[in-house]
Structure formats: structure tokens, C-alpha cells
């Protein structure tokens, strides 16, 4: 190593910068690996990613040790020992390599997963700060001899601690509604769902039959106060052609004795109109995968509609409540404006992540397979759940969808024909991954006189008239930076399908007859 390089690698600023980036590497890596949908190979799920994480941690300790030694000015005032320069050079090389690994992950995950990585980083922030402060105290503080620098470091640490306590007690988030509510037809009534920017209570107010109702989002009498998503089940007849409003009170903390609350908010009045006409127009959206705005741009070219079919795949997965709030509840509220029913079909990406099992509680949906009717039109909603076998390493041993689909098929086989014009909905156009269950489901849907299956999942837009049982419509969704949304018009004479992209260009226009 030349003298110049030796001086560079043992310069105080160089060692400090290397240790800063070396410390950041495992934090970012953990956030991206634990939350993003990057699926490089199954080895990552078999422990290789943990090995990389621990190598990053070891490198962080190495870089900090080198920096701490260099900052011991009394020991190295006049020269730059070769061994220290060599250690610093090694830390630099490893840090650069890990930076490339992290940048590669960032590039592979793209726009879809990066917001989730930032959410994960935000969740890790308190731990990250504690980790950096501990490192500062352990590695650098003992080496700082200047009294003024020591005082400055102590003041900064005290300030961070005070701010952390303040933010913990009063999170710096303005409390408001994220959007209009979404009203999900869950097959037995309406789930009125809305989200707020911070945790709080949720309620709905309306008048029906001369009585004033105020119904809370509660569980066996206890009002739920720790969620940002609020949902209340209302009987169909209470909401149809009625006016309602929703409200929330911020809850900072819930105690066994008492609690600490914040501001209360009340929405505007919403007029809710059910779908009971002979001719109805449904907006169909699928696979928006966090692209709320792109989907809304495509929708803006389609014209008016009476109800919404949300066909699933809102985000890569549901790690956090805030993802469900933004990509399901806010999106659903924005496109339905709280004034029309939504039929929600779960996508396979809503079955992933630690919040996935909470979603049905948040949306007040007992299950994701059900039937409902808009006037004389019957909808049978199926849930394809995941598109790979339960043992696939992507699911981390937490999938039991084969049994779930078997129960759903039994439920489907128990339905009776009603003589209504019938449409089936399922996220995956091929229904389930089990051949026997899928064959039974197609047969029963045919028995029930279904005329069309509406689906998504493939990120392509087409009508398959060759399907053995009856035609299958695959809604477009997000693909290649564009988004395709559809209108489905139902009338006694048939089913109209029209799809357009974000530029308003017509992608598809088809007509399907009702089966006799």
C-alpha cells in the first residue's frame, strides 16, 4: 500500500464515513429482506440471507473499531500504521460490496416494494437510533478527549432521548381521514370501512325508521381504539338510499385503567345508493399493486359507474396495517366515494405478510368467499388464495390454503340455483391450484348457471371464450408502467365489457350473452 493510500484509509473522516455506511448496510438489508417481495432464489429463504446479514454486522463492528482506534489521537498522532490502514481498506472494500448488494436489491424491487422498505425502515428507526447511540458510546466516546466535543455528543444524545420520548407519547402525525369510506357488500350486510392517519376509534351515524343510530367498531362491547382501519357492519336496509357519516376519536394509549385520547373528527354526509336497477355498470379493477394513482388515471377515462369490483392484489404483500389502509381502504374509498357498494375479491398477494391474517377482521369480512345480489344479478365470489403449493418457501411455513380451498369448494357445492343471472368472481382465472377442486368448482358454477367468470392476476386483458365451462374475462391491472381498468355493464340482454388504459385508449370491447 502506498503512503498516499495509507494516509487516505487512516484519515479520520474516511474511517468515520466507512463506519457510518457499514452501520447502515445491515439496517437497510434487514428492512428490504424482511419486507420486500424480492424473491431471488429459494436459498435466500433457507438461511443464506441471514448469513449475509451477520457478515454485514461483523463488517459494521470492524469499521467502527477501526474508526475508534483512529480517533484515539494520542496513540496515532504522528503516523498511520500499516495494519490500521489495511484493516480500514478491508472495511472499505466490504462496505462497498455490501452497498452494491443493497443497491442491487433496491433496483430489483423497483417502485412496488420500495415504499414498504421505507415503512420497514421507519419501524426500525427507534432500534436503529439506539444501535447508533450505543455504537457511538462504545466505540467513539471513550476516544474523544476534547471536553467541548464530549459535551456536544452528550447534549445530542440527551436531545434525541427527549425527542424519542415526546414522539412516543405524542406521535407527530396530524389526525384525519385518509379518504372517503368504502362500503363492502360482504354477502350478509355492508362493512363500512374507513382509515385514519393514526390509531383511534371508528363509528357510523345515520337515521333509520325514525331512530338515530351510532354504531361503533367494537368487539363484544369494547370499542377498538388501536387500529387505523375502522369497520362497522350495517344491515343492507339501513344503508340503502340513506345518508350516513362516519367519525373517529384519536387514541394515543389504551390502559387497563383509563386511557389517553386526542382529537375527534367527523366526516361529511354520504348518500349511499345500492345497485338495484335493471341496467347496472360496474367498475372493475385488479392488480393495482400499490399503483393507486395509475389505476385512478385509467378509471377517469371510463365514465360513470354504479358499483365497484375490486379483484385483489393491492400490494406485494401485507406486512403493515398502513399498507392495507393505503392500498385497499384508501383506494377503495377514493374510487367509490363512500356512495356505492364494493365487492372485494382477495388477491393472492393479500395472503402474504404478517398483517394478512388481520385483514378479515379489519374489513369485517368473515370469509372471502360468499355470494351476494345486485337486484336480479347474482355474484358468487371465490378466493383463489395462493397460486403455489402450501409448502413453497415463499410462505415461510404459514400457508394452509389447500384445506381452506377444500372448505370453500364444499360451501360452493352447497349453493342452490336461484334463477338469477349469475357472474362468478375469482382473482385467478384458473380458480385454484388443485385440479380436483378446480374441476368441482367449474362444474358447480356451471350448474348455478354462471355466464361469466371475472378475474385478474395475469396482468393481461382479454376475454377467453374457449374456456370449457363458460367465458372468462381477465381484467388487465398494472403492466409495464401502464394500467388497464374495465367497465362491466349488466343488462337483461347481456354483459358488456370495455377496458381502457391510462391514456384513455380502448384496449378491449366485448359482449357476452347470458346463458339460457
For the CB of residue 503, give the shortest distance to Fe ion in the complex, in Å: 24
**CA-CA distance, 241 to 504, in Å (whole number)?**
32
Give me the least distance between CB of 458 and Fe ion, in Å please: 8
As a whole number of angstroms, the distance between CA 11 and CA 241 comes to 74
Measured at the CA of 31, the angle between CA 28 and CA 35, to 5 degrees, comes to: 145
Which SS3 state, helix, strand or coil, does residue 146 take? coil
| Residue 356 beta carbon to Fe ion: minimum distance, rounded to whole angstroms | 14
Q: How far is the CB of 316 from Fe ion (least distance, A)?
A: 10
Cβ nearer to Fe ion, comparing 238 with 346: 346
d(CA 394, CA 19) in angstroms, rounded, equals 33
Which residues of this protein are in contact with Fe ion, per CB under 5 A? 313, 347-348, 457
| Measured CA angle at 455 (ends 231, 290), to 5 deg | 55
Judged by CB, which is closer to Fe ion: 364, or 457?
Answer: 457
Nearest approach, Cβ of residue 372 and Fe ion (Å): 22
Q: Closer CB to Fe ion, residue 27 or residue 315?
A: 315
Contact 315, 349 (CB under 8 A): yes
Question: Which DSSP category does 40 fall into?
Answer: -
Question: In the complex with Fe ion, which residue's Cβ is closer, 60 or 431?
Answer: 431
> What SS3 class is residue 343?
strand
Q: Which are the contacts of 250, defined by CB distance < 8 A and separation ≥ 6?
A: 175, 196, 198, 199, 200, 261, 262, 263, 264
Q: Characterize the bridge pairing of strands 377-381 and 370-374.
A: antiparallel
Q: How many whole angstroms separate alpha carbon 149 and alpha carbon 151?
A: 5
Q: Which is nearer to Fe ion, 95 or 348 (CB)?
A: 348
Cβ 430 to Fe ion shortest distance, Å: 11
Q: Supply the minimum distance, in Å, between the C-beta of residue 332 and Fe ion.
A: 17
Could you tell me which of 238, 151, 133, 138 has the C-alpha nearest to residue 192? 238
Sign of torsion, CA 165 170 173 179?
Answer: positive
Q: Are 7 and 83 in contact (CB under 8 A)?
A: no
Smallest gap from Cβ 37 to Fe ion, in A, equals 12
Q: Which is nearer to Fe ion, 180 or 475 (CB)?
A: 475
Q: By the 8 A CB rule, do 52 and 59 touch?
A: no
Query: In this structure, are residues 247 and 277 in contact, taking their beta carbons and an 8 Å threshold?
Result: no
C-beta of residue 462 within 8 angstroms of C-beta of residue 479: no
The closest residue (CB) to Fe ion is: 457
Which helix (H) or strand (E) is 23 found in, with range? helix 12-35
Q: Which is nearer to Fe ion, 282 or 474 (CB)?
A: 474
Distance CA 350, CA 490 (A): 28
Q: Given the DSSP bridges, would you call strands 482-491 and 280-285 parallel, antiparallel or unpaired?
A: antiparallel
203 vs 288, beta carbon nearer Fe ion: 288
In whole angstroms, what is the distance from residue 317 CA to residue 45 CA? 16
Nearer to Fe ion, 33 or 346 (CB): 346
Give the nearer residue to Fe ion in terms of CB position, either 292 or 348: 348
As measured in angstroms, the least distance from the Cβ of 428 to Fe ion is: 7
Residue 289 CB, nearest distance to Fe ion (Å)? 9
Amino acid at each position: 500500500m502506498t503512503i498516499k493510500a495509507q494516509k487516505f484509509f487512516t484519515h479520520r473522516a474516511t474511517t468515520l464515513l466507512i463506519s457510518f455506511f457499514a452501520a447502515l448496510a445491515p439496517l437497510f438489508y434487514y428492512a428490504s429482506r424482511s419486507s420486500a417481495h424480492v424473491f431471488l432464489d429459494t436459498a435466500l429463504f433457507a438461511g443464506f440471507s441471514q448469513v449475509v446479514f451477520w457478515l454485514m454486522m461483523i463488517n459494521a463492528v470492524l469499521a467502527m473499531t477501526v474508526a475508534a482506534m483512529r480517533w484515539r489521537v494520542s496513540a496515532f498522532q504522528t503516523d498511520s500504521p500499516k495494519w490500521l490502514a489495511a484493516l480500514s481498506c478491508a472495511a472499505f472494500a466490504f462496505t462497498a460490496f455490501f452497498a452494491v448488494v443493497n443497491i442491487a436489491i433496491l433496483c430489483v424491487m423497483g417502485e412496488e416494494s420500495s415504499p414498504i422498505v421505507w415503512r420497514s425502515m421507519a419501524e426500525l428507526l427507534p432500534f436503529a437510533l439506539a444501535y447508533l447511540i450505543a455504537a457511538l458510546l462504545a466505540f467513539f466516546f471513550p476516544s474523544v478527549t476534547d471536553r467541548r466535543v464530549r459535551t456536544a455528543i452528550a447534549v445530542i444524545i440527551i436531545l434525541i432521548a427527549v425527542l424519542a420520548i415526546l414522539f412516543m407519547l405524542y406521535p407527530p402525525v396530524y389526525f384525519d381521514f385518509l379518504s372517503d369510506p368504502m362500503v363492502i357488500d360482504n354477502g350478509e350486510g355492508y362493512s363500512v370501512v374507513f382509515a385514519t392517519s393514526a390509531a383511534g376509534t371508528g363509528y357510523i351515524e345515520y337515521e333509520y325508521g325514525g331512530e338515530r343510530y351510532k354504531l361503533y367498531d367494537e368487539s363484544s362491547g369494547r370499542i377498538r381504539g388501536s387500529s387505523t382501519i375502522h369497520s362497522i357492519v350495517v344491515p343492507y336496509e339501513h344503508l340503502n338510499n340513506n345518508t350516513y357519516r362516519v367519525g373517529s376519536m384519536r387514541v394515543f394509549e389504551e390502559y387497563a385503567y383509563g386511557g389517553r385520547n386526542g382529537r375527534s373528527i367527523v366526516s361529511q354526509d354520504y348518500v349511499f345508493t345500492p345497485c338495484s336497477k335493471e341496467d347496472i355498470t360496474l367498475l372493475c379493477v385488479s392488480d393495482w399493486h400499490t399503483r393507486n394513482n395509475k389505476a385512478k388515471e385509467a378509471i377517469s377515462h371510463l365514465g360513470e359507474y354504479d358499483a365497484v369490483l375490486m379483484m385483489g392484489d393491492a400490494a406485494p404483500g401485507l406486512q403493515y396495517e398502513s399498507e392495507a389502509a393505503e392500498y385497499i381502504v384508501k383506494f377503495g374509498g377514493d374510487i367509490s366515494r363512500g356512495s356505492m357498494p364494493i365487492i372485494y375479491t382477495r388477491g393472492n398477494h393479500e395472503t402474504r405478510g404478517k398483517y394478512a391474517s388481520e385483514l378479515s377482521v379489519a374489513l369485517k369480512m368473515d370469509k372471502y368467499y360468499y355470494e351476494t345480489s345486485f337486484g336480479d344479478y347474482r355474484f358468487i365470489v371465490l378466493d383463489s388464495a395462493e397460486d403455489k403449493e402450501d409448502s413453497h418457501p415463499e410462505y415461510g411455513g404459514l400457508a394452509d390454503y389447500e384445506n381452506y380451498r377444500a372448505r370453500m369448494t364444499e360451501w360452493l357445492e352447497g349453493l342452490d340455483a336461484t334463477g338469477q343471472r349469475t357472474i362468478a368472481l375469482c382473482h385467478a382465472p384458473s380458480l385454484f391450484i388443485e385440479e380436483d377442486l378446480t374441476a368441482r368448482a367449474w362444474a358447480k358454477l356451471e350448474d348455478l348457471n354462471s355466464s361469466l367468470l371475472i378475474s385478474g392476476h395475469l396482468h393481461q386483458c382479454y376475454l377467453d371464450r374457449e374456456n370449457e365451462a363458460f367465458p372468462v374475462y381477465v381484467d388487465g391491472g398494472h403492466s409495464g408502467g401502464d394500467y388497464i381498468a374495465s367497465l362491466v355493464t349488466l343488462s337483461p340482454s347481456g354483459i358488456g365489457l370495455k377496458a381502457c388504459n391510462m391514456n384513455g385508449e380502448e384496449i378491449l370491447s366485448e359482449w357476452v350473452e347470458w346463458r339460457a
